[in-house]
Amino acid sequence: MKLSRHNSRLYSVMVAVFIISAFILTGCASNREIVYPGNQWERISDPGSAGYSDDGLKAVGDYVKDLNTTGLVVTVGGRILFEYGDIEELSYIASVRKSVLAMLFGNYVKDGTVDLKKDLIDLNMDDIGGLSEREREATIEDLISARSGVYHAASNAGDNLADAPARGSKKHGEYFLYSNWDFNALGFVFEQETGRNIYDAVESDIAVPIKMQDFDRESQRKSGNLKVSKYPAYHMWFSTRDMARIGYLMLRKGKWNNTQVVPGDWVKKISGVITPSEEMNPDRIKGGMFGYGYLWWVFDGPDTPSHFKNAYTGIGYGGQYITVIPKLDMVVAHKVNLRKTQNKAVSRTQFLNILDKIIESGK
């Protein structure tokens, strides 16, 4: 059918309006302003402008106040959407330290200072009572993915060593087990191979570039029973709002303003699936919500909701979390100061409920 000149012009205008409307509604990631916090976080004054409801966020607060949560920060698009508790207080982040260590390795792997294929023999590493030659075949990559096959006791508790197979029964790289020996030994590897103290590296390589507001070098200290293992745990004390900065650095693929703080391909590697959910051990966590990357837990289970696609989280004892949800441009940092709560925790189920309520507030 041939259109008249008038109808043709009208049709062209309608098409143009449709295209512009679609552009506005769907957005354009390549042109969207990327916001980074400066010395202070910006805050979203009107949650509705970001697609979230006041009532929904009130429901989050009502739920959290009945838990042992001592700090909570939710950011969307690089601004704080919701906060609760004392977000400036420094406290123990437990095993979230491991996720931070994974980030630290990036630049040193990229420039060749750290070779992930080096094994414990190359590194001249052993431990109290000795490691077998088979155990000493474990590589740095095996340690960072919790697949070493070394089931030596760690200097600190808080892992799944009680569920480990017999020592020497698994070849390195073939079997996932969350073991603090791997992680503590990895801290030693970092310091030996880079020639740097972990906490000095956290300060210069992460805290300073991303302007962590509360980082205190003197508050960081190692601990552990060195009669059990000679590799101590490298514990860390951060504020909730600084945990959110770390998560935001990961969300932005390691970039902060114009500086590539952590290599982008390394961020993708450590936050991607190395051990899928169905290969997790022990059996009670197999097929659950999480798989594992390089020291980050990855939302990978068969029943994981779609909004958690490509999402990942650091998890620490008692309720410490840095959770990154790329699909929502969101970071959630959650803290339980166990000294304040008399060691009372926020369970993983309760934390997942918090996430659900946050996400529901955007519907």
Residue 8 pLDDT: 46
Give the per-residue pLDDT at 32: 53
The model's pLDDT over 30-74, given as tens digits with 9 standing for 90+, comes to 345 789 999 999 999 999 999 999 999 999 999 999 999 999 999
Would you say residue 23 has pLDDT above 70?
no
Task: Indicate if the pLDDT at residue 25 is higher than 90.
Answer: no
Which pLDDT belongs to residue 166?
Answer: 97
Report d(CA 320, CA 332) in Å as an integer: 11
Q: In this structure, are residues 160 and 178 in contact, taking their beta carbons and an 8 Å threshold?
A: yes
Whether the pLDDT of residue 81 is over 60: the answer is yes
Q: What is the CA radius of gyration of the chain?
A: 23
CA distance 90 to 87: 8
Give the model's pLDDT for residue 15: 37
Question: Could you report the per-residue pLDDT of 271-291, keeping only the tens digit for each?
Answer: 999 999 999 999 999 999 999
CA 3 to each of CA 6, 7, 8, 17, 49: distance values in angstroms, whole numbers, following the listed order: 8, 6, 6, 19, 41
**Which residue bears the tokens 């697609």?**
51
pLDDT over 50 at 352, yes or no: yes
Q: What percent of the chain has pLDDT over 90?
A: 90
For 117-172, what is each residue's pLDDT tens digit?
999 999 999 999 999 999 999 999 999 999 999 999 999 999 999 999 999 999 99
73, containing H or E segment: strand 71-76
Does an H or E element contain 241, and which? helix 240-251
* pLDDT tens figures, 213-243: 999 999 999 999 999 999 999 999 999 999 9
- What's the confidence (pLDDT) of residue 33? 78
d(CA 138, CA 149): 7
The whole-chain average pLDDT of the chain stands at 92
5 pLDDT more than 70? no
Q: What is the DSSP letter of 277?
A: G
